[in-house]
Chain A
């Protein structure tokens, strides 16, 4: 007769305890957040931005190389950021006003008409010196991004680009500055920390970080184009419409 096999009692070792703790930690720190993120991802979509055709290939004749103050032209397309589901261009067809009564050429409604191609006559031209345009979104909404195309028929740099949002149409109260690349405070909003940039078909995408506002105001003071005019092809303001 063979001896019956004796069942060994389970031993609780230190190593076993550590392994369990590690597994638990991995679950808590990695797996659980991933599951949560996946759930959140369902509410995130790529920014529904449609870029116009590139009007010029390559870089300008004498582009500044990498500099901490002027953003170089990138050969790669800009990554598309994720935004909340339901994000739309709130500025489309919305009314626009400006710092001057008369434009130099074109009409202000061109800024929100949806035509951002770099073709003749697709941009409005404002008179020289510091000028602004202001878009009324109709209602305050949490904003994710503002994208501005000043003029992208050829590579130019616009000066003193300042973008602000507010719920006050006069921009006296509750003003949030989203972007300011005025290096010498010539626009009067303080020295900006943002970089100058070359205009391209990608426009300038400016994060609004969820700030809730109804009005968007954009300043500029001429460009390197060779004349003193301020130009706007299109401005898009992304956010989820208020219910």
Chain B
């Protein structure tokens, strides 16, 4: 059979595997607060054709624009008609594309290494978990790998098309997350450090300054188009220049999400809480270590692997991991930013181990061991994304919404069916009542109010409140309202539901 066809079939298999882990039971996990904010912002873009970049929060708009085609196909009539799946499909698609992108590096890693890297990408618990999550990180990882892939292809062919593609990828990174600067710095430093090592004949025009400048322009234009909401809000693109002050302040000077320097490495290496599974991607880390050795000892490289590419990947991964580890502000999804590099190196490591195994039997044994490791990774990815999706033992489930929120949604919707003119007031101590707006989206516009203190007139048929307000609400509404339940919005964050007595009696009369 033709080699291209065989490789194509392998890629189809990888995509199917990736999809099999990313698509099922997509709506089962409650929306994280961050996801629900992005849902709201996408809905504004879809329904009002408006996007305004905020330099202080939310990152860039690529996630929203990537989701628009799904909405154009589905044509939801209202925000209430949208479902979790409509949003989460976009990161799923990018999660699958990410699995296929190592194919761009086939002549730099070797086919077995590229295939192994694709397989590990498909199975990595962190990559699977966050591919099912409506946040920017999977897209960012995808654009980063696209930049590396296109950059490599340009280096190999000197075709301007690849340089344009690399420029586009860099622009998409800029428009996705402000932290792209760290990725550019790490990649740039690594590329410069390995430039001309080992010496290879240089293709004509490869480092032509005009070409490189044009690629830079492509990146800036791509970013500007997106950040300005396709020029509907030009200030957005300019606002990007102000974004680094708040982000740098957050990175270094806040107690929010502050973690030890070793947080990311231990997250990947070993997390075992209570009797949950051991969450580990030690296989990826170990294989990446073997792969990185190839940069130092060329004899370790598998057939078809370029020492320069492996060297660039190794240095880039180490630098980026060091940068992210040095920043006190850490959230587990940021691990995706540099996990890509580990996975590519792990592909090289896997191929090297198979090649260096003594004899046919040795190779079979190594392949069997690697497949067993892959099986473990895949099983872990599945469990992390389903049974342990919101479990405190899952290191990827971070400040996650609890499943009680489904009960809140159901209760409010049932009350709404009884009284279509229902008014809901949410009283919370701060702005961390998200994702409640998503779960209250079926209450008509203008009938849900959010308050950061007990309003002077708290009378509404339904009041959802942080437990801090229980006593005050009991004093004010005790005679007219029924406390109908305490729900866990997040771990250690209880939320109380108060319902007007008459409405509650009518509701209960139906349930008896």
Report A's interface with B, CB cutoff 8 A.
Answer: 60-70, 104-106, 120-121, 125, 128, 154-157, 159, 183-186, 190-191, 196, 222-229
Q: Is the CB of A225 within 8 A of B491?
A: yes
Counting CB contacts under 8 A, is B483 at the interface?
yes
Q: Is the CB of B488 within 8 A of A68?
A: no
Complex Cα distance, B411 from A186, in Å, reads 11
| A-B contact sample (6 more), CB < 8 A, given A68-B483, A106-B275 | A62-B468, A64-B467, A67-B474, A225-B392, A226-B390, A226-B490
Instruction: Name the residue among A106, A128, A224 with the largest chain B CB count within 10 angstroms.
Output: A224
Counting CB contacts under 8 A, is B260 at the interface?
no
Q: Is the CB of A222 within 8 A of B403?
A: yes
Q: Is the CB of A121 within 8 A of B474?
A: no
Minimum CB–CB distance for B416 against chain A, Å: 16
Complex Cα distance, B388 from A104, in Å, reads 10
Q: Is the CB of B486 within 8 A of A224?
A: yes
> What are the 3 tightest A-B residue pairs by CB atom distance, in nearest-first order?
A224-B488, A226-B491, A65-B471
B contacts with A, residue count (CB < 8 A): 38
B-side contacts of A186, CB under 8 Å: 511
Report B's interface with A, CB cutoff 8 A.
Answer: 273-276, 387-388, 390-392, 400, 402-404, 411, 429, 466-468, 470-471, 474, 478, 483-488, 490-494, 496, 507-508, 511-512
Q: Is the CB of A70 within 8 A of B483?
A: yes
A-B CB contacts (within 8 Å), total count:
107
B-side contacts of A184, CB under 8 Å: 411, 484-485, 507-508, 511
A-side contacts of B470, CB under 8 Å: 64-67, 70
20 A-B interface contacts by CB (under 8 A): A62-B492, A65-B467, A67-B474, A68-B474, A70-B483, A105-B275, A120-B274, A121-B275, A159-B404, A184-B508, A184-B511, A185-B512, A190-B512, A196-B485, A222-B403, A225-B402, A226-B390, A226-B400, A227-B391, A227-B392
Minimum CB–CB distance for A56 against chain B, Å: 10
Main secondary structure of the interface of A (DSSP, over half): loop
Minimum CB–CB distance for B252 against chain A, Å: 26
Complex Cα distance, B508 from A190, in Å, reads 10
Complex Cα distance, B484 from A20, in Å, reads 59
A-side contacts of B483, CB under 8 Å: 67-70
Q: Is the CB of B404 within 8 A of A224?
A: yes
Q: Is the CB of B488 within 8 A of A225?
A: yes
Complex Cα distance, B188 from A33, in Å, reads 93
Instruction: Name the residue among B484, B486, B508 with the largest chain A CB count within 10 angstroms.
Output: B486
Q: Is the CB of A64 within 8 A of B492?
A: no
